[in-house]
Amino acid sequence: MTQLANNAPLTCEGLARSFGGVKAVQGVSLALPAGAVTALVGPNGAGKTTVFNLITGNLKADEGTAQIRGRPIIGLKPWQVARLGVARSFQDLRLFTQMNVRDNVLAATERGAWFWQGGDRRARLAAAEAAMEATGLTALAEARAVDLAYAERKFLSMARILAAGADIWLLDEPASGLDLSSRLRFGQLLRDARARGVAICLIEHNLDVVVDLADRIAFLDRGLVLAEGAPREIMTDPKLAAIYFGDRSHEAAA
């Protein structure tokens, strides 16, 4: 990880969090390099979303450190972490359902927004229009979020991140439920962001998406990072594949 950390705007070391007697995250260390997609992969309950919650301040870490460009962030509130350039998507999207698409995107650029990076209304409108264009939502700018199709809501969530101008993205299952055409469009969004130097961390259960987009995988199980490496290296490891698909017979044999 030391070599990766040299080009990583976000790093964490030894993150740990327990809930009662359950160790949800156990000593997780990660580096998210600029211009790269890192995927967190593992079975349900592996601790992937908890890692995101610890980084963003939605949960307090029991142990460990995290830094953004050398600045410690453990103990900061979520809005303070966001103001340092971190944008996050959630599985439940968290859109303003009764607001239209344009206003949803503009909300991510307002002075009081977590992601606010400054700029006058003209700059905010330009950022919103560019984000809607990139996500294919320009024609739906006046449509309410609640009236959008599922894939369109997913892209609205991404448009808010784009408009915010964050350079660290934490994406929690952003491609889940998307059809092939939408997945291809989503993949292009990530490739474009990667080319701009954005550091992206992706939680995704669709392994085709992971292999296609990720530069590196960290495989988690029971709160531990069991392996890190290139996607095909990790996904062709028979022991890791067995864990992912719920076969732990090798553990009993050991």
Q: What are phi and psi of 214, to 5 degrees?
A: -80, 140
Q: Looking at domain 1-85+167-181+197-254, which of 1.10.150.120, 3.40.50.300, 3.20.20.70, 3.30.2020.10 is its CATH number?
A: 3.40.50.300
**Chain segment 134-189, per-residue pLDDT in tens:** 999 999 999 999 999 999 999 999 999 999 889 999 999 999 889 999 999 999 99
Position 36 scores a pLDDT of 97
The whole-number pLDDT of residue 251 equals: 58
Domains in the chain: boundaries: 1-85+167-181+197-254
Task: Evaluate if residue 25 carries a pLDDT over 60.
Answer: yes
Count of CB atoms situated within 10 Å of the CB of 76: 17
Measured CA to CA, the distance from residue 243 to residue 58 in angstroms comes to: 28
For the beta sheet containing 199-203, the strands, ordered from the edge strand earlier in sequence to the opposite edge, are 86-89, 168-172, 199-203, 36-41, 216-221, 224-229
| Residue 17 to residue 139: CA distance in whole angstroms | 44
Model pLDDT for residues 234-247, shown as the tens digit of each residue: 989 999 999 998 86
What's the predicted TM-score (pTM) here? 0.90
pLDDT at 5 over 70: no
- Token pair of 200, please? 């992206």
User: What pLDDT shows up at residue 121?
Assistant: 76
> What percent of the chain lies above the pLDDT cut of 90?
75
